[in-house]
């Protein structure tokens, strides 16, 4: 507890800011990898059509075709979810960086105005 009391508030805020940024960057990289670089192709495309060529029963064929269509739709929804998740994390990261920049500029303006007032005051 004594170690926390000895911390400079400015260094603590920088540490918290860096921690938040690190979490955002990890999420950004992870969702970007899943959305764009993960080699997760549709498994139903890899099925050998000759496996089903010998099936003569129309009900079985229609069941297989319907299952393949459902698998393809499910895979497409998963890819869309990954893309949307990436967009959400990107927006959050950009919002955090934007708020940080605005906060930094306001802090500098406050410091500059305080310095100007201190210079203008007679000693």
Rounded Cα distance, 82 and 76, in Å: 10
Nearest residue to 34 via CA among 74, 73, 84, 95: 84
List of residues 6+ apart from 5 with CB closer than 8 A: none
Token code pair at residue 95: 């919002």
Burial class (CB in 10 A: 0-12, 13-18, 19+), 119: exposed
**pLDDT for residue 41:** 65
Rounded Cα distance, 120 and 45, in Å: 76
**pLDDT for residue 58:** 82
**pLDDT for residue 5:** 61
**pLDDT for residue 87:** 94
Nearest residue to 28 via CA among 80, 73, 88, 89: 89
**How high is the mean pLDDT of the chain?**
79
**pLDDT for residue 64:** 80
**pLDDT for residue 12:** 75
**pLDDT for residue 22:** 95
With a cut of 50, list the residues of the chain below it in pLDDT.
Answer: 1
Q: Is the whole-model pTM more than 0.85?
A: no
């Amino acid at each position: 507890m004594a170690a926390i009391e000895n911390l400079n508030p400015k260094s603590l805020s920088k540490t918290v800011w860096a921690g938040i940024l690190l979490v955002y960057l990890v999420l950004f990289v992870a969702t970007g990898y899943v959305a764009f670089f993960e080699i997760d192709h549709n498994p139903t495309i890899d099925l050998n059509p000759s496996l089903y060529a010998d099936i003569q029963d129309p009900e079985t064929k229609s069941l297989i075709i319907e299952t393949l269509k459902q698998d393809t739709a499910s895979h497409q929804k998963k890819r869309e979810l990954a893309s949307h998740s990436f967009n959400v994390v990107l927006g959050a990261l950009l919002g955090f960086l934007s708020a940080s920049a605005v906060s930094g500029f306001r802090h500098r303006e406050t410091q500059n105005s305080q310095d100007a007032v201190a210079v203008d005051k007679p000693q």
